[in-house]
Amino acid sequence: MPTIENILIIDDNPHIRSDLCEIFILEGYTVYSAGDGEEGLQKLAENHTDLIICDYNMPKLDGAGVLREVRMSEKTAKLPFIMISGTEPPESTAQYDFIFMAKPIHLDTLLRTVRDF
């Protein structure tokens, strides 16, 4: 099983995005970030990514749209994907393999989840 080294964080809230980036950088990960789903897919295409952490409620392209695009690409279909949201994920995501974490996020749980991949 490959080790997680490079994480893509996609969240439209700049404070949450910044905090998550800082935490994972301090933990020794290489982190890329994006403020919406479209930018996230662009960063994914430009950088080697081992894991995606993505907010659900975002403008332009929401987390479900990002998840769908990631799973449809042969290159990224198997990437571990953690969706974070204050609301339950939509039924349309049920067919895809991902982990859902409710906000507020417990950082210990998130870090443990990432380490377990």
* Spatial distance between the Cα atoms of 4 and 2, rounded to a whole number of angstroms: 7
In a domain, 66, yes or no: no
> Could you give the residue ranges of the DSSP H alpha helices within 1-117?
14-26, 37-46, 63-72, 107-116
* Chain segment 2-50, per-residue pLDDT in tens: 589 999 999 999 999 999 999 999 999 999 999 999 999 999 999 999 9
C-beta neighbour count of 25 within 10 angstroms: 12
pLDDT tens digit sequence for 61-91: 999 999 999 999 999 999 999 999 988 776 7
CATH label of the domain that carries residue 53: 3.40.50.2300
pLDDT at position 9: 98
| Kind plus residue range of the DSSP H or E element containing 57 | none
The answer to whether residue 92 sits within a structural domain is yes
**Residue 100 is part of which domain span?**
6-57+74-116
- CA atoms of 93 and 106, how far apart (whole Å): 23
Q: How many domains does the chain have?
A: 1
- In this predicted structure, the answer to whether residue 95 has a pLDDT above a threshold of 80 is no
| pTM of the full structure | 0.93
